[in-house]
Chains A and B, each alone.
Chain A
Amino acid sequence: MGTQVEATPEQMEELKRLFGEDKPIPVLYIEWLGRVVQGDFGFSLRTSRPILPDILQRLPLSIEITLFALVLALALGIPLGIAAALKQNPLTDIVIRITGLLGLSLPQFWLASLMVIAFSGVQGWIPMGNYISFAADPIKNLKMLFFPSLAIGTGLAAVIMRYTRNSMLEVMQQDYVRTAKAKGLKKRVVVIRHALRNAILPVITVAGFNTGYLLGGAIVIEEVFALPGMGRLALYAIYQRDYPVIQGIVLLIAAMFVLVNLVTDLIYAAVDPRIRLDEGGR
C-alpha cells in the first residue's frame, strides 16, 4: 500500500498470463476442474507453494478436533439425556429444555476464552507451546486438544441431550417396551437393549447434521488456541486474498460435508435394520 505505481496494460497482460488468467472465466473454471481431479490444486499466490500438500498437511488436525468434539458431545449428551428421561418431572423438563437452548446460545470461541481464563492457572491443564501431533505423542496431543474440542462440543452435547431425552420418552411409552418390562427384564436391559436402540436414531441424524457446525467451530477455535489446522490456513488465505488457496479449501470442505452426510446415512442403516438403502429408498 502507500505509494503504488500503476502497472502498464502490457505488464497487466504479462501478469495475467503468468497467473493463467488470460482466458474467459468459464474456460478457466473447466481447466481448473480438470486439474483438480488430477490432484493439482494450483499454487498459492503468496507463497508460490503447491496448495494441496499444504492443505493435506493441516487437514488431519482439523478433522481430529472435529471428531474429538463429536465424541465428547455424544459421551456427555447421550447419558445425560437418558438420565433426564428416566427422571421425568415438570422441574427437570424445564431445566433440560433451558440447558439445551443455552447450549445452542453459547459462542464457541467465547466458551474457549472462558476455559482459558478458568484453567490456565492450573499447571498442565492447558499445555502451551508448539503443537504436538498425535503420531508424535498421543497423550500430550489429546491433552492439548481436550479444551478446544470441549469448547466446540459443549453446545452440541446440550442439543444431543435434549434430543436423546425427547426420543427416549417417546420410545418408553411404546408397547414393546411395556412388554419387555412386563416380561420382568431388568430396567437396565430394557433401557439399553430395547429403548435406546430405537431412541438413538434421531440422535444420529442430529449429530451427523451438526458435524459441519463442529468443523466450522474447529476453524475458529484453531485461531483461539493457535493450532496449525486447516482453519488457520483458510483464515490467512482470506486475509491475504490468496484466492487459489481459498478455492481449494472450499472444495475440500464441501466434499467432506457431503461425505459426512453419506456416512450418517450408512450408520443409520446399520443401526436400524428396517432401513435398507438398496431397496429402492424404502
Chain B
Amino acid sequence: MGAARLKKNIIALAGVGIISFYLLIILVSLFWLPFDPVAMDTLHLLEPPSIKTGHLFGTDEFGRDILSRIMQGCSVSLIISLGATLLGAVIGTLMGIWAGFLGGKWDHLIMRVADILFSFPSLLLAIFVMGILGEKTYNVIFAIGIVYIPQFARVSRGAILTLKGNEFVKAAFSSGASKTYVLFRHLVPNIMMPLIVQVSLSLSVAILLESALSFLGMGIQPPYPSWGNMLSGARKFMLLAPWTAIYPGLAIVFLVLGFNLLGDGLRDLLDPRLRNVK
C-alpha cells in the first residue's frame, strides 16, 4: 500500500490536489480575506461579479462579498464534516469491533441498534436529530455523526469477521496470545484501510448533509457564513442575481468531488478485483 502505488492512481491524486487547494484557502482565510465577510454594504447590494469593484464573485443581498464568505465558510464546512465523521467513525468502529470480535448476543444487540439507525434515510435522520436537539451549530456535528455510526459499525464488523477466520489469527491464539493482544496487534491494524476509505467517502457526504441542513435553516446560523446558508439566502434573489447561488454551490461540489475522488481512488488501491474492471 505504498506511496508509489498512490502516485500512479490519478483519481486519488486529483482528490488530494483538490483537498489541498481548499486547505490552502482556509490557511489564507485565517490571515487575509478580500472583504469583511459579515460587513454589510448597502451601497453595493447584489452587484454582479467584476474585477473593477474587487467583488470577484459579486455581492449578496446585504452587499457582503461572496468570495470572502465562501472562503470563510470553507473552514466551517471542513470542521463540521471532520468532527461529524470522527464522531461517527470512533463510536461506530468501537461498536463494530465489539460486535464482530465478541460475537453472540453482543453482536445481535449492537447490530440491531445499528439497523434501527440505518432504517432512516441519512438526510432525514440528521433533520430529525436537529429537530430534537435544536438548531445550534455544534448540534450539526452530532446530527451528522449519528448518521455515520451504523455505517462504520457495519464496515468494521465485517472486516473483523473476515479477519477472524484467517490462519494468522488462529495461529496467534494457539500460541497463547491473549484476546486483547490479538485484537490490537493483529485485527485493528488490518481493518484500518477499509476504514480510511469509509472516512473519505463519509467526509464528502457530511459536507452535503451540512449544506442541506444549513439550506433548510437548521445548520449554521446566519450571519456566520456557511455554503448552505448562503444558498438559502440566495433563493429569493437567484433569478435576479444568479451569482449568489452559483458560486457557493460550486464550492460545495468541488470539495465533495475531492473527497469522492480520494475515497474512490483509495478503494481501487485496496480492492484488486476492482482494479481490473475499473
Q: Do residues B277 and A107 form an inter-chain contact, with CB atoms below 8 A?
A: no
Chain A interface residue count, Cβ-Cβ cutoff 8 angstroms: 42
The docked-state distance in angstroms from the alpha carbon of A237 to that of B208 is 23
Interface residue A157 (Cβ < 8 Å from any Cβ of B) = no
For B259, the closest partner residue in chain A by CB is A105
Given A117-B242, A212-B120, A253-B120, answer yes or no on A105-B216 (Cβ-Cβ < 8 Å): no
Interface residue B30 (Cβ < 8 Å from any Cβ of A) = no
For A155, the closest partner residue in chain B by CB is B208
Q: Do residues B131 and A238 form an inter-chain contact, with CB atoms below 8 A?
A: yes
Residues of B within 8 A of A216 (CB): 121-124
The docked-state distance in angstroms from the alpha carbon of A102 to that of B18 is 13
Interface residue A93 (Cβ < 8 Å from any Cβ of B) = yes
Residues of B within 8 A of A113 (CB): 231, 234-235, 238, 245, 249
For A219, the closest partner residue in chain B by CB is B124
Residues of A within 8 A of B215 (CB): 107, 109, 220
Q: Do residues B238 and A215 form an inter-chain contact, with CB atoms below 8 A?
A: no
Q: Do residues B277 and A220 form an inter-chain contact, with CB atoms below 8 A?
A: no
For A241, the closest partner residue in chain B by CB is B131
Given A105-B253, A107-B211, answer yes or no on A254-B123 (Cβ-Cβ < 8 Å): no
For B228, the closest partner residue in chain A by CB is A107
Interface residue A131 (Cβ < 8 Å from any Cβ of B) = no
Interface residue A143 (Cβ < 8 Å from any Cβ of B) = no
Which of B121, B131, B246 touches A253 (beta carbons < 8 Å)?
A: B121
Q: Which of A107, A170, A223 gathers the greatest number of chain B CB atoms within 10 Å?
A: A107
Interface residue A190 (Cβ < 8 Å from any Cβ of B) = no
The docked-state distance in angstroms from the alpha carbon of A170 to that of B273 is 11
Give, as a whole number of angstroms, the nearest-CB distance from A56 to chain B.
Answer: 18
Q: Do residues A212 and B121 form an inter-chain contact, with CB atoms below 8 A?
A: yes
Chain B interface residue count, Cβ-Cβ cutoff 8 angstroms: 39
Within 8 A of A (CB), among B219-240: 231, 234-235, 238-239
Residues of A within 8 A of B261 (CB): 98, 101
Interface residue A206 (Cβ < 8 Å from any Cβ of B) = no
Interface of B is mostly: helix
Given A109-B212, A212-B120, A216-B123, answer yes or no on A250-B128 (Cβ-Cβ < 8 Å): yes
Which of B120, B127, B231 touches A110 (beta carbons < 8 Å)?
A: B231
**B195-216 to A contact mask, C-beta < 8 Å, 1/0:** 0000000001000100110011
Interface residue A59 (Cβ < 8 Å from any Cβ of B) = no
Given A113-B238, A116-B239, answer yes or no on A223-B216 (Cβ-Cβ < 8 Å): yes
Residues of A within 8 A of B249 (CB): 107, 110, 113-114
Within 8 A of B (CB), among A68-98: 93-94, 97-98
Residues of A within 8 A of B10 (CB): 94
Residues of B within 8 A of A223 (CB): 216
Interface residue A258 (Cβ < 8 Å from any Cβ of B) = yes
Residues of B within 8 A of A93 (CB): 278
Interface residue B218 (Cβ < 8 Å from any Cβ of A) = yes
Interface residue B97 (Cβ < 8 Å from any Cβ of A) = no
Given A113-B249, A213-B122, A253-B124, answer yes or no on A107-B212 (Cβ-Cβ < 8 Å): yes
Give, as a whole number of angstroms, the nearest-CB distance from B248 to chain A.
Answer: 8
Interface residue A148 (Cβ < 8 Å from any Cβ of B) = no
Residues of A within 8 A of B235 (CB): 113, 224
Residues of B with Cβ closer than 8 Å to A?
A: 10-11, 119-124, 127-128, 130-131, 204, 208, 211-212, 215-218, 231, 234-235, 238-239, 242, 245-246, 249, 252-254, 256-257, 260-261, 264, 277-278
A selection of 8 A-B contacts at a CB cut-off of 8 Å is A94-B11, A104-B204, A104-B260, A105-B253, A114-B249, A234-B127, A246-B131, A254-B119
Leading 3 A-B pairs by shortest Cβ distance: A216-B123, A212-B121, A238-B131
Residues of A with Cβ closer than 8 Å to B?
A: 93-94, 97-98, 101-102, 104-110, 113-114, 116-117, 120, 166, 169-170, 212-213, 215-217, 219-220, 223-224, 234-235, 237-239, 241, 246, 250, 253-254, 257-258
Known: A169-B277, A219-B124, A223-B216. 19 other contacts (CB 8 A): A94-B10, A98-B11, A101-B261, A101-B264, A102-B253, A104-B260, A105-B256, A105-B260, A109-B215, A114-B245, A212-B121, A212-B122, A212-B124, A216-B123, A216-B124, A237-B131, A250-B120, A253-B124, A257-B119
